[in-house]
Copies of this chain bind each other. A is one copy, B any other.
């Protein structure tokens, strides 16, 4: 157990650590001195971010996976040197390499996925979460952060469930964890009735099927969604046929097309058949902030639970997931005891017990950036971002539908637009996407619909201009020259 006292030691050799004696230790981010220690390091980070973005000079690096990995690995080698290079060199090198090799969602031509450009204000707030490092598993690691989380989750839950007396919400790592929790709560709710049967649309997020596997539940029953939304007659038939207990998972904002299932009709069917309802509104949930679009979510408050990701249409850095529940008492299944974190006598003495708020133990206060964003922008500011982003998708759809060489799949519901060059094959659509990726010109997604493969533009950048949209279409068309010029 005993170790030699610090002091001058032998010189470094293979596997030998050079003893640096009682020299200055690397500074901490916290305490009164922390901000002063952080400032010069943040200067280095900002310079490296700017330099990396200028080097990249586009939405993603040119060269494709092999070249990008090669550049990164050349910069990052060796990953664990015997002697450190110091904080400024390490930040300059690795942040610079990461920025140069990023697919930057702040570039208007980076529009493949539900991968949003974070707001500067949310990003700045997130720094404070790292510096203070509260851990949300016990009050004595997060006295103020736990109070903030309670206030923000209650306020957001009330947005989803305005007419319920005790709505609540949990902070998660994203829609995948939220969907998993929703299914877990259903499993526990019906513990004595046999395993819960999950029913999903063919348009539902893959995480639901994965959650059933994780939780040891039967394979989900899949209901067709031929037009991109869950088919009501097929759902009715499935609910008539299946044995209880059943959890139906509907979607408000599908990954492929951004469509919204007929929520109120699905809620009616669930009520009729005595099935539970969960709604995955990871993408579409923030429509609630928009007075002109919230009607699209009609019926949302009839679900037992709702998934929301504020790192999608909420412009937060990852992660900012939520699971809202209609009734806080439904969370009782997550109650958990670990004496070092929530001993009974501490709880009796008034120390809040936080363990039942997550399946994680140690947990970053992702709520801080959300709280700062809600306060900085207000409901009206969020509504404007939501509306501008959805308007942008309408504009792109207009451009496509008017263009003789492009075909539009359908008018967008949210901010996803599927399109393809006329006369293109599925293979040429896939190739176009990959060519734009590997040449560093655009990040577009892909989706199957109506038995064909489409290019998918998922617009999440409210700063995108009409000119940006024109240029994006021009890039696509350049890959599909007219057959008879």
Contact = CB atoms under 8 A, between A and B. Distances in A.
A143 B176 contact: no
A225 interface: no
Which interface class (under 10, 10 to 19, 20 to 34, 35 or more) fits A?
Answer: 35 or more
A367 B215 CA distance: 28
A434 B463 CA distance: 50
A44 B155 CA distance: 26
A145 interface: yes
Nearest to A114: B362
A302 B394 CA distance: 58
A346 B434 contact: yes
Contacts of A1: 394, 411, 413
A292 interface: yes
A341 B125 CA distance: 30
A3 interface: yes
Given A32-B54, A42-B127, A351-B437, 18 more contacts: A25-B384, A25-B462, A26-B381, A29-B124, A37-B120, A41-B123, A61-B143, A80-B378, A85-B375, A86-B376, A90-B372, A94-B371, A98-B128, A98-B145, A113-B135, A114-B362, A177-B360, A311-B362
A343 interface: yes
A174 interface: yes
| Residue with the highest number of chain B CB atoms closer than 10 Å, among A6, A66, A77, A140 | A140
Interface string A363-386: 111001101111111111101110
A251 interface: no
A103 B28 contact: no
Given A26-B121, A68-B147, A173-B360, A81 B375 contact: yes
Each complex incorporates copies of this chain amounting to: 2
Interface stretch (A9-17, A235-243, A324-332, A401-409): A9-17
A478 interface: no
A317 B129 contact: yes
A103 B371 CA distance: 19
7 contacts: A19-B384, A34-B49, A42-B46, A79-B374, A80-B378, A90-B375, A127-B130
B291 A17 contact: yes
A210 to B, nearest CB: 6
A2 interface: yes
Contacts of A50: 32, 34-36
B41 A94 contact: no
A467 interface: no
Nearest to A338: B206
A29 B372 CA distance: 15
B87 A130 contact: no
A222 interface: no
Nearest to A37: B120
A319 B362 contact: yes
Nearest to A361: B176
A117 B383 CA distance: 38
A38 B123 contact: yes
Contacts of A340: 113, 255-256, 445-447, 456
Contact of A145 (B41, B102, B155, B362): B102
Contact of A93 (B54, B89, B375): B375
Nearest to A60: B143
Given A3-B391, A12-B380, A343-B446, A30 B117 contact: yes
A79 B60 CA distance: 36
A46 to B, nearest CB: 4
Interface stretch (A104-112, A226-234, A267-275, A468-476): A104-112
Interface in A116-147: 116-135, 138-145, 147
A264 interface: no
A148 B336 contact: no
A69 interface: yes
B124 A42 contact: yes
Contacts of A220: none
Contacts of A249: none
A328 to B, nearest CB: 17
Contacts of A94: 125, 148, 368, 371-372, 375
